[in-house]
Amino acid sequence: MSNFEDADTEETITCLQITVYHPVQLQSGMFQSIRFYNREKLPSSEVVKFGRNSNICHYTFQDKQVSRVQFSLQLFKKFDSSVLSFEIKNMSKKTSLLVDNKELCYLNKIDLPDKCMVRFGDYQLLIEKEDGESLEFFETQFILSPTSLLQENNWPLQKPIPEDGCYSSYSTQNTFPTEMDENEL
């Protein structure tokens, strides 16, 4: 047998493509610790945290308006499914997180849609999932958008989420965030 016949089958890897935008991104350096346009491979067991604390968060924003841990993403596999999914959880006590038009307050979590807009403060993140086969790893890839993602993707324009409170809650669907106890972290 040749080496080609003996070689392991290469699995495709699920990838989250995260396009980010903030109105003052060029002046502030808030995204300076994020490596854009490179795919980063992570173990599927890792809970990926986003925030300003570089000791806790895998991806950091250099901005005092961002919570130490703003939100987290965790990979999971639904029962009777081979497709990997993600859940997103708001880890900020001060700022709500909007996932499409669903408001997540502190410790609320929901399944991340395959394509969605995540917002907090003036931050806009368009997250798109490419499905893969591997159960061991997933990848992230960041893209910096020069223009507002809300306008570029024709998302409904709404006020930014206040830094010190909750957005007035409404939902366009009958799905609601899941409330968690702090001990489930």
The percentage of residues in the chain with a pLDDT greater than 70, rounded to a whole number, is 77
Look at 129 and 151; give whichever has higher pLDDT.
129
State the residue for tokens 């807009």. 117
Q: What CA–CA distance (Å, rounded) separates 88 from 85? A: 10
Whether the CB-CB separation of 12 and 138 falls below 8 Å is answered with: no
State the residue for tokens 């003996």. 6
pTM of the predicted protein model? 0.78
pLDDT at 172 over 50: no
Beta bridge partners of 60: 51
Q: What CA–CA distance (Å, rounded) separates 171 from 100? A: 9
Largest CA distance in the chain: 65
Element (H, E) at 5: helix 3-6
pLDDT (tens digit, 9 = 90+) per residue, 76-115?
A: 998 888 889 999 999 999 999 999 989 999 999 999 999 9
Q: What CA–CA distance (Å, rounded) separates 92 from 89? A: 9
Structural domains present in the chain: 13-144 (2.60.200.20)
Q: What is the pLDDT of residue 144?
A: 96
Range scoring the smallest mean pLDDT among 26-40, 58-72, 163-177: 163-177
Q: Compute how many other C-beta atoms are within 10 angstroms of the C-beta atom of residue 75.
A: 21
